[in-house]
Amino acid sequence: MKRVYVNEQWCLGCHLCEYNCAFANTGKKDMASALMNIKIRPNIRVEDDGKVCFAVSCRHCDEPFCVTNCITGALTKVGGVITIDRNKCVGCYTCVLSCPYGCVTPTEQGVMQKCELCTTNGGTPKCVLGCPNNAIVFEER
Amino acid sequence: MKYVIIGNSAAAVGAIEGIRALDKDGDIMVISNEGHHTYSRPLISYLLQGKTDRERMKYRTDSFYEDFNCRTLFGKTVIKLDKDKKAALLDDGEKIPYDKLLVATGSSPFVPPMEGLDTVSKRFSFMSLDDADSLEKALYPEARVLIVGAGLIGLKCAEGILARVGKITVIDLAPRILSSILDDEGAKIVQTHIEKQGIDFRLGVSAKSFSANKAELTSGETLEFDILVTAVGVRPNVGLVKDAGGEVDRGILVDENMQTTIPDVFAAGDCVVSCDLSCGLKRILAILPNAYIGGFNAGTAMSGGTPKPQKAMPMNAIGFFGLHIITAGSYEGEAFEMQDKENYKKLFYADDALKGFILIGDVDKAGIYTSLVREKTPLSGIDFASVCKEPSLIAFGRSFRDEKLGGKSYEN
């Protein structure tokens, strides 16, 4: 099963993955107009303390606490990919309580969003496609 | 193999999914005294608030029972277990034989004896979809509502109906709201936030007596109301197991396979006693995640598998009027505290491990704290000072990240 894996030694801390993720999930054609003057809410987030940096996105865990703990049944894992049905989600944050990596975050509407490996955005995750230094890759390991 | 499941909520669904992971063909019968497709109980306040509806609050899809090849008997109550003949007796006299039985009967609202309670005509509990429906029918824009109990159920009820009534007053015997999950400082922040929405509190008092639409409080005050909601607490439904001779303490006692002391009878969810890993105590953990996982583990054991250790502990994510609260574990040991207006954080640690935490307001990445508690991660092995300020994976060090984020295995 292909996943987004991190090559921490190659991360430049450029945050391009965050912008490419946010852009991909707007569904718009032009990045500049899509992201102009908005606070982006990417499903991949760079941790950076000035010395170390790396990007973190959903691990699609073998034991997915976000799914087992979800009180609505909005989070499901099918074919190895954990997705969220935003129509069912009520924004209770039990998934935020549950995710060991901090990878479920609220949308502007207050329900939850997460990385779905760009399964509805054409396949290969856009964060990986736009990474200039192979610091994140989409492969089997 | 004949599996019979009594109950149709999170533990029952967990058990069905657990059984079917190992046994595709066994006969599964789900018996419920409610007439509904499986739904999420905690969503009844969101239903009244209009944030979900009857379709979306279904805990599993419409085709769930069909997909998992289950038979259902809804609207029937099991009144007795015959452990010798291995059958569940229904209220209509029918006997349902089982090879493996799961008791997932949950809990019921506990209404303490209060003088004159029976003189109150519009009186409701708030646990089930039917409760929510009954309460909804009684609501009207000018109604004055008195809620007895400032816990999770009482306050979610208050939030759910506030826009649809005239006035809400919440009373509680405890000196603070949400006393099971918050400390004094945290409770004050949340109380102030809720009061700003127009909900009144009377704390440290109880209702001495009721008379039609009046409540006399222990403080001497008399409150008039049109609708009364009692949300004082819940009691596990242990009767079936107890009457059949199974061991029961505050809840049904089960082993690591979720088996009761009666052979081939399992139990999970709000009706059982769990072992809280954050403090080692046996206690009732009446929360949905615990019910689902307990049910799943029961299903695994019932179908011949060996369940993973459950790692149960208290954990709650709840919000009121946009203010989010996430708590987990036990509040013992030393504390790290941070407060900035409505953002409040308290971490409790002892014996080189995080024992529990309270987050209000900024709850981003709270699961990193939950994971520290659940995995009992030695704090000496991480940068705890940095993790106190902000939950992050930087604090965990390179080998952790290479494994978790880089997919490297250190098994050899």
Q: Determine whether domain A60-114 maps to CATH 3.40.50.10090.
A: no
- Which CATH number do you get for residue B349? 3.30.390.30
Same domain? For B365 and B340 the reply is yes
Per-residue b/e over B52-66, b at no fewer than 16 CB within 10 Å? beeebbbbbeeebbe
Q: What's the pLDDT at B107? A: 97
Residue B307 lies in a domain: no
Domain boundary among B206, B232, B258: B232
Q: What's the pLDDT at B410? A: 55
CB-based contact B289 A69, cutoff 8 Å? yes
Quick check: do A1-58+121-141 and A60-114 share a fold? yes
Mean pLDDT (chain B) is 97
Same domain? For B71 and B136 the reply is no
- Please name which of B179, B321, B154 lies closest in space to residue A91, comparing C-alpha atoms: B321
* Cα B72 from chain centroid (whole Å): 24
Same domain? For B196 and B342 the reply is no
Q: Which residue has the tokens 């492969």?
A: A139
B239 vs B274: CA distance, rounded Å: 18
Q: pLDDT for B173-201, tens place per residue?
A: 999 999 999 999 999 999 999 999 999 99
Q: What is the CATH code of the structural domain delimited by A1-58+121-141?
A: 3.30.70.20
Residue B177 is part of which domain span?
A: 117-232
User: Best residue in B405, B409, B410 to probe A by mutation, most A CBs within 10 Å?
Assistant: B405
Q: Give the nearest chain B residue to A70 (CA atoms).
A: B289
Same domain? For B227 and B121 the reply is yes
How many domains is chain B partitioned into structurally?
A: 3
B275 vs B313: CA distance, rounded Å: 8
Same domain? For B132 and B183 the reply is yes
Q: Which residue has the tokens 């309270």?
A: B358
Whether A47 contacts chain B with CB within 8 A: yes
Read off the amino acid at residue B331.
Y
CB-based contact B401 A102, cutoff 8 Å? no
Per-domain boundaries in chain A: 1-58+121-141, 60-114
- φ/ψ of B379, rounded to 5, equals -70, -25
ipTM confidence score: 0.97
Residue B412 lies in a domain: no
Largest Cα separation within chain B, whole Å, is 72
Same domain? For B196 and B262 the reply is no
What number is the average pLDDT over the span A131-138? 97
Q: Which of residues 104-133 of A touch B (CB under 8 A)?
A: 104-105, 110
Same domain? For B218 and B127 the reply is yes
Q: pLDDT for A82-101, tens place per residue?
A: 999 999 999 999 999 999 99
3-class secondary-structure state, position B173: coil
Q: Write down the pTM of the prediction.
A: 0.96
Q: DSSP string spanning B69-125?
A: TEEEEET--EEEEETTTTEEEETTS-EEE-SEEEE---EEE-----BTGGG-SSEE-
Same domain? For B103 and B245 the reply is yes
